[in-house]
Amino acid sequence: MSTDAFVRVINIRKQLGDRVVLNDFSLELNKGEFVALLGRSGSGKTTILRLLAGLETPDAGEIWIAGSLVSKDGRNYVPPRLRGIGFVFQDLALWPHMTIHQSLDFVLAASSIPKLERGKRINDVLTTARIPDLGQRYPHQLSGGERQRAALARALAPAPRVLLLDEPMSSLDADLKSELVSELQTLHRTFALTTMYVTHDVAEISRLADRAIQMSSGVLPPR
């Protein structure tokens, strides 16, 4: 593997319960690359994202981000909040008891952004996500597309270096999905993000990804 890659996943093994989800798994992403990850349910796609984000630890192997070792052999060396990662979950995981503004403020505070700076950052990211007037609403008061944009705003608020998306558009209709795919293309270029995108939609991949990787039972196909 190249030591110049921005994200390096090296010989990862991960077992959940009695099932080995990833076995001797390796992968790398270059800085600014948009990679789509495909595979059947249970092939380990979401687990890879959670390992990169620090929400899970590898049982064996190493994970490097921007030249720093963040996880190795069952231990996280860098906590999730310091990895420079934005995560859009499949179910979006918006906090129902918080307005969108409150949830963004919480994320920024956890990232040690000074209070005086947080207000401007929140306004900027809501505008970027094209929901500038919805900050005072709760998730249940938003449409499906608006919730999608709110989740994206939350992921982008701390100015991440890496963006992880776990089938975030799977519940949307075709027209709205097409619109959001176009917006995601623009955001990826504007913020120079290194992005990993889990999806089953070939049309999304053809429009978004620099390359696509097909997984099968926790392994990559041979090169």
- Phi then psi for residue 38, to 5 deg, are -115, 160
Is the pLDDT reported for residue 163 higher than 90?
A: yes
- Residue 162 confidence class, pLDDT cut points 50, 70, 90: very high
Between 51 and 3, the higher pLDDT residue: 51
What confidence score (pLDDT) does residue 69 get?
97
Tokens 């979401």: give the residue: 46
pLDDT of 61-119, one tens digit each? 999 999 999 999 999 999 998 999 999 998 888 999 999 999 999 999 988 899 999 99
* pLDDT above 70 as % of the chain: 95
Is the pLDDT reported for residue 222 higher than 50?
A: no
CA distance 223 to 221: 6
Least confident of 13-22, 33-42, 135-144: 33-42
Kindly write down the DSSP assignment for every residue of 130-153, as one continuous string: T-TT-TTS-GGGS-HHHHHHHHHH
Between 14 and 174, the higher pLDDT residue: 14
H-helix or E-strand spanning residue 52: helix 45-53
- Phi then psi for residue 197, to 5 deg, are -130, 115
What confidence score (pLDDT) does residue 2 get?
54
What confidence score (pLDDT) does residue 208 get?
82
Q: What is the mean pLDDT of residues 41-68?
A: 94
Between 22 and 223, the higher pLDDT residue: 22
